Amino acid sequence: MTEMPHGPVSGRCVWTVADVAADASWIHRFSPAELDELDGAARTLAAGGKRPEAFERDDFPLPTLAPRLAALRREIEYGRGFALLRGIDVSRYDMETLKVLYWGLGTHLGEIISQNSQGDLLGTVTDMEAGRYATGGYYEQNVRGHRTNAYLPPHSDSCDVVGLLCVRPAQEGGASTISSSMAIYNEILRTRPDFIAPLTEGFHFDLIGKGTQAVEVTRNRVPVFSWCEGVLSCRFNKQQIELGAAKAGHPLTPLQQAAVDYVEELAVRPDFQFPMAFEPGDIQLLNNHTTLHSRTGYRDWDAPEKRRLLLRLWLNVPDGRPLAPAFADRLNTGSRGGVTRRL
């Protein structure tokens, strides 16, 4: 049964731009000892021919850093909902060793799951479409937005936590922006409580090629806001909701459309949307159930070796927040399932 909506959300997951700007404790700088530990573990495995996906947490020992990562994982899951790890000098590594390092760190944060129909567990975020989608329209052609240089509207990904390692920034633009979906819920409850019902009843999301078939929508209605065991979680992508409604043959009602529009309107409001510029070596970690993220469009460098490049992990957290069944089955692959490999 669907748990009935509760009152306003409280806690560190509810924040505004002013709150984040006043407290920079979300930036975590690696100590020299932690960097040495990461370096040693990565170079040892890389020298032995190990590649990402071929080793697990026990193969990547981090005796000093592991306890700190465990505390950070708890903070991301049940605290503020995001963090930025800073200090890795990416210029010291060839790409294969850097991938080993990032994969190894990721094994200490959670279970790494598939993020595309090719079954990739370690993804790349770069413009593969040569600027063809600078004004959007990629979803309609089953092109994933992160493989373009286009503006990405506020959304959440299909995993508990998404991690991005910046290898190279763009020449101009490409800034990440985040907002608290919990603060957005409170604002909706305060200003437009009539929107709560359609948002908690949910929608058939278009899976934009991430399902078991090239054209598919979620079998169940996935709520935008879902309560489970007294904990609120959010799943939002305005375009996927609108495309899913059309493909499912159930066009959005005026109330549903207005509610979905309002979520996006609040997510980009200046007091809710916090900009986060990436430096090379930065690792951004976001809880998809309590934050929405976006990206400005960008202009890239002409030289291929200088173009914007991020490495991405999708993670499920073993002790993650409770999720209602209809909410947890976000890709028709079962509770917290990853993208089906079909290509």
* Tens-digit pLDDT string for the chain (343 aa): 567 778 999 999 999 999 999 999 999 999 999 999 999 999 999 999 999 999 999 999 999 999 999 999 999 999 999 999 999 999 999 999 999 999 999 999 999 999 988 899 999 999 876 556 555 565 555 566 677 888 999 999 999 999 999 999 999 999 999 999 999 999 999 999 999 999 999 999 999 888 888 889 999 999 999 999 999 999 999 999 999 999 999 899 999 999 999 999 999 999 999 999 899 999 999 999 999 999 999 999 999 999 999 999 999 998 889 999 999 999 999 999 999 888 7
pLDDT at position 318, please? 87
For residue 136, the model assigns a pLDDT of: 58
Burial class (CB in 10 A: 0-12, 13-18, 19+), 303: exposed
Distance between CA 223 and CA 293 in Å, rounded? Answer: 18
The pLDDT score that the predictor gives to residue 129 is: 65
Q: How would DSSP label each residue in 11-63? A: STT---HHHHHH-GGGEEEPPHHHHHHHHHHHHHHHHTT--TTS--GGGS--T
Q: Is the pTM of this model over 0.85?
A: yes
Q: Both ends of the chain: CA-CA distance in Å?
A: 36
Sign of torsion, CA 237 242 247 253? positive
What domains can be seen in the chain, in order of their start residue?
17-328 (3.60.130.10)
Strand partners, 179: 292
Burial class, 94, CB count within 10 angstroms (exposed 0-12 / middle 13-18 / buried 19+): exposed
Dihedral sign computed on CA atoms, order 78, 177, 139, 313 = negative
